[in-house]
């Protein structure tokens, strides 16, 4: 069954980006954990991504990805998978083989069926940001939250969610401690 999953990294104090949308706290992080329960982090993103059939993100996340591509000379990071960008602005579209970027306006509940259909037997990834994840939660369409908690405190920034989640508290479904010192928390969203 196709699930809608919010998968992201966040700081210990619940931020997914700095106030200026940068991720230096994540890209510059260098930590470790040598506990006997530590597992390698390498390959965990690839394993998650292999299970994704469609993506959705807000315009700030999209622009961050485009800036990353431009600065590194990379290709579109999500080639081969359709990506919906929630925006009311005209934004550039990346070029290249396998690029399937679709711009959308309106309520997430109105276009969610398209994402589910496009995902096929895989899952929908809510890439970010906190406002998009909150829209999915408000509409009762968010099934899981997968967080990689980085032991950094920002004190301010872009929050994991923009507002409180409706319904019951999330149910913890799994954890992993990585050798990097980061911890993965997986939750089921209960409605």
> What is the reported pLDDT for 71?
81
Distance CA 57, CA 85 (A): 5
Cα distance from N-terminal residue to C-terminal residue, the chain: 17
**pLDDT in the model for residue 191:** 84
What angle do the packed helices 108-119 and 130-138 form, to 10 degrees?
Answer: 100
Q: What pLDDT is attached to residue 130?
A: 96
Other Cβ atoms closer than 10 A to 114:
15
Q: Residue 70, SS3?
A: helix
pLDDT tens for the chain, residues 1 to 191: 999 999 999 999 999 999 998 899 999 999 999 999 999 999 999 999 999 999 999 999 999 999 988 788 788 999 999 999 999 999 999 988 999 999 999 999 999 999 999 999 999 999 989 999 999 999 999 999 999 999 999 999 999 999 999 989 999 999 999 999 999 999 999 98
Distance of CA 121 to the CA centre of its chain: 19
Domain ranges of the chain: 4-12+33-188
Cα–Cα distance list, 171 to 16, 32, 189, 190 (Å): 21, 27, 7, 7
pLDDT at residue number 69:
82
| CATH number of the domain located at residue range(s) 4-12+33-188 in this protein | 3.40.430.10
- Amino acid 72: pLDDT: 83
Predicted TM-score (pTM) of the model is 0.95
Place of tokens 């037997």: 121
Distance separating alpha carbons of residues 22 and 113, to the nearest angstrom? 31
The pLDDT, as a whole number, for residue 80 is 95
């Amino acid at each position: 069954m196709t699930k809608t999953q919010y998968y992201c990294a966040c700081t210990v104090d619940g931020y997914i980006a700095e106030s200026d949308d940068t991720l230096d706290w994540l890209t510059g992080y260098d930590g470790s954990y040598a506990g006997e329960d530590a597992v390698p982090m390498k390959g965990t993103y690839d394993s998650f991504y292999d299970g994704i059939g469609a993506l959705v993100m807000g315009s700030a996340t999209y622009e961050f990805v485009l800036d990353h591509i431009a600065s590194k000379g990379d290709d579109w990071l999500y080639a081969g998978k359709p990506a919906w960008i929630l925006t009311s602005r005209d934004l550039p579209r990346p070029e290249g083989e396998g690029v399937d970027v679709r711009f959308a306006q309106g309520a997430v509940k109105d276009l969610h069926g398209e994402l589910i259909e496009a995902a096929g037997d895989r899952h929908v990834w809510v890439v970010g940001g906190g406002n998009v994840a909150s829209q999915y939660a408000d509409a009762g369409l968010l099934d899981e939250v997968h967080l990689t908690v980085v032991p950094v405190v920002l004190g301010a920034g872009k929050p994991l969610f923009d507002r409180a989640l409706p319904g019951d508290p999330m149910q913890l479904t799994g954890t992993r401690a990585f050798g990097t010192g980061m911890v993965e928390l997986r939750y089921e969203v209960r409605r």
